[in-house]
Amino acid sequence: MQNNSPAANASPRSLVIAERARNVRQLLSRELSRDGYTVCALASGADLCRELEADSSPRIILLDPDLPGLADDAVLHRLRRAAKRSHLLIHSFGAQTFAPLADMTLATINRTGNIEAIRNALQGALSKVDDAGS
């Protein structure tokens, strides 16, 4: 588990990356940290559940629907609660969605290796945060 920031510093630019592939997790963490996001990168559903329990602040969650342990009922329950006050983005191949959270997903980002698509989706999520705060 890589955590680049203390949970207490969560802000609208706080980003949780829940990604099974270490190289993707590291790339996204590095690039999006450079963009000014406070990043917490996690490798499993259990790690995600612990992070969401430790910090209930609003944030953006970039979720790999194939994350190990994601289908666990406790993880899904905690993620569903967190998604009510956060922005959930699904990072997947093709049109794959994550059915248990489809009603709470802000966007699905096609997993093509294009970091710009992720940046654009994050900007869209931030604009929704800004609109809600106005």
Pairing of strands 38-42, 14-18: parallel
pLDDT in tens, 9-53: 445 588 999 999 999 999 999 999 999 999 999 999 999 988 988
Higher pLDDT, 104 or 7: 104
Grade residue 55 by pLDDT with cuts at 50, 70 and 90. Answer: confident
What domains are defined for the chain? 2-133 (3.40.50.2300)
pLDDT in tens, 68-80: 998 888 888 888 8
pTM for the model: 0.82
Average pLDDT over residues 108-113: 85
Of 9, 12, 2, 8, the closest CA to residue 87 belongs to 12
